[in-house]
A and B are shown apart, each in its own frame.
Chain A
Amino acid sequence: MEFFTDDNRNGIIYTYDGTFDGFLCCVFTAYNTKRFPSKIARYGTFTPSIFDRVSDVRTDKVEAERVYEGIRKNISGKALYYAYLAFMTEREGMEDDIFEFLRLGFKYGGRVLNMMNNDAVLSVVKLKEKAYREADKLFGFLRFEELEGGIYYAELEPDNNILELLAKHFEDRFPNRRFIMCDKGRGISAVYDAGELTLLRGIPENLPPRSENEEEYRRLWKCFYDAVEIKERRNPKLQRSMMPKKYWKYIIEKSL
């Protein structure tokens, strides 16, 4: 199975729909046809040269599920987690690193995560850290507002596609309530209602108005935020490095 080459012109290029499932189907196709791609790219992000052979991979839930389980069983749950998070960075070329990471994983098992002197492995580890770092920040920086009818609503624009990961965190934290989280940049929403989390394309319109107490608690929070600062230690540079300005838009104490 080692016959694939780094040379793009002779290799085959897989294109897919940009979803994680779609990517897993590329992995499925590669192993199923025993033809490893020289590149994997989402539709439209890649202009093939006349020498390239491009194959469009169709996303199939069942195939994706098989690869998903295959990674978990034959490599490790941790490797799957790394692949998933690295994928969510949506960085150009990450598919190729993740594919190589998985190829090594199927060969060496869970040990692949220790092979830090391999560029693809290191790249996946670093991408995973990048995505996790942002998720870790947004676990804290995300702000809900209370709407009438007890719905909690939050907006965000993360660099990485981590809405699902964030929604899982809040699902666990607030299992008894209803919330909507919107990734404004990607135009997708996570809706949690009656114990069920759903990801949807689109941003809700016609939301109910804010609840009666909402403004009061915003004021109180702003008051706390201002009072807790030690003026003698003022250090806006440190503040910005810990809480980058790009997040301020949705952090109410900074945007009010």
Chain B
Amino acid sequence: MDALEKLEILTDAAKYDVSCASSGSSRGGKAAAERGASMGSAMKSGICHSFSGDGRCISLLKILASNCCIYDCKYCVNRRSNDVPRTTFTAREIAELTVNFYKRNYIEGLFLSSGVVKNPDYTMELICEAVRLLREEYGFAGYIHAKTVPGADPLLIKKLGLMADRISVNIEMPSEESLKTFAPDKSRNSILKPMGQISSGIKENRHELALYKSAPKFAPAGHSTQMIIGASPETDLRIIRLTEGLYNKYKLKRVYFSAYIPVGNHPALPNTKPPLMREHRLYQADWLLRFYGFRADEILTEENPNFNELLDPKCTWAINHPELFPVEVNRADYNMLLRVPGVGVRSAKRIVSARRYGRLDFANLKKMGVVLKRARYFLVCGGKYFDGITVDQKNIERNMLADAAMSPQNAKKNSAQLSMFDEQLALPLNPPKIEVVKSITGEF
């Protein structure tokens, strides 16, 4: 089998993994070179290098080390019982591809996962060896995200975490029952145990780093997970509660959702189009959890456990809480501003800093990037609604639904990786000639 064919098979087999973010690590290339690296750097906010025909970002070389698998997870294209061509990369092939793509600026680094060949430890050793070659022999200081295999030896996880930027383990299904039904070879415990180990490894390491600056870094870009949605019967509420729990308990950087694409063969699996709108709503809710100070139980309730197809979760929440609105732009605190539909993190920060220098009106808000189409129902400036409109609580929902119907949701911000905004924290660049201003925090 030639290199082209191999790459095609092992890319095709890897493409259903959502995560492609190259964010979370910040590593200057020159500093890395002084420590002996030959090339590479990492930007805190990550970099997208291309976009495939499905509109998803391509940041990393996303491949499997092997698509041979001893497991038979029903939803997975690589399951043992599926009749597909199988192949395995050598560690050196992986390293060569990564370095040569990186040199040409095709990619930001490597995202390496694998089917389970022979047994979990054997597979993890293959992954470790590829990463070790890259780091040690090729002096590669670009981004590496590697998957850990459930059931592998904790020592191997530790070893991998000390070389990669991000390591992760997929939770696969939104509930234990579904995991039992569709992935009989994996158990909840075999997934949560390594996740716990990674989480506490990171915590200890941050402590060490605070004490000894030169301590080796363990998964400096944190860890993430993903679950398939739409293959199993869980409600949206259940999924976001699980998500919230994962963020709180395991301090994950990201929880990814992957709309199920019918590649499985189990009678309980749906054979429908991937639920992209649902995935989009879940990501919106995920943002509310991470950046907007919402709790899962505020976003959805037992009575309404699923998202509204037409209205985004923030609008839905605001409509259901008329007692909190309207909000006075010139006085409301930051957290309340964040909860107004049409106001994002960026515009809320701008409002808070600008109003110290004078009263704000709707023209100011518009220039600051507030989406008045939505915000006008919930905001007042100096006690007045936008354009003198009178807002009748009962009509808000009707109006907003009409607006939503007028502009069919283009899935712009959803199915995409969102890596554009992914954990954007610092502006790593300086104007030329400026030497020291290391982290200009113009972006948040």
Contacts and interface: CB of A to CB of B under 8 A. Distances in A.
B356 A230 contact: no
A116 B359 CA distance: 11
B51 A152 contact: no
B354 A114 contact: yes
A173 B412 CA distance: 31
B54 interface: yes
A54 interface: no
Interface in A156-203: 164-165, 168-170, 172-177
Contacts of A220: 3-4, 7, 97, 101
Contacts of A234: 53-54
A135 B11 CA distance: 29
B49 interface: yes
B76 to A, nearest CB: 14
A117 B105 contact: no
B137 to A, nearest CB: 16
Interface string A107-124: 000000011111100100
B425 interface: no
Given A143-B106, A227-B7, A230-B15, A235 B350 contact: no
A242 B416 contact: yes
Among A68, A236, A238: residue with most chain B CB under 10 A: A238
What size tier do the contact residues of chain A reach? 35 or more
A254 to B, nearest CB: 8
A224 B432 CA distance: 35
A139 B47 contact: yes
Contacts, number: 205
Given A85-B431, A232-B274, A117 B357 contact: yes
Contacts of A177: 39
B100 A213 contact: yes
B276 interface: yes
B432 A144 contact: no
Interface of A: 68, 72, 77-78, 80-82, 84-85, 114-119, 122, 128, 132, 135-137, 139-146, 152, 154, 164-165, 168-170, 172-177, 213, 217, 219-221, 223-225, 227-239, 241-243, 251, 253
Interface of B: 3-4, 7-8, 11-12, 14-16, 28-30, 33, 38-41, 43, 45, 47-59, 61-63, 97, 100-101, 103-106, 108, 259, 261-262, 273-274, 276, 350, 353-358, 360, 364, 367-368, 410-412, 415-416, 420, 427, 429-434, 436-437, 440, 442
16 contacts: A81-B442, A85-B431, A116-B354, A140-B105, A172-B29, A220-B3, A224-B11, A225-B58, A230-B15, A230-B16, A230-B56, A231-B53, A233-B55, A235-B54, A242-B55, A253-B106
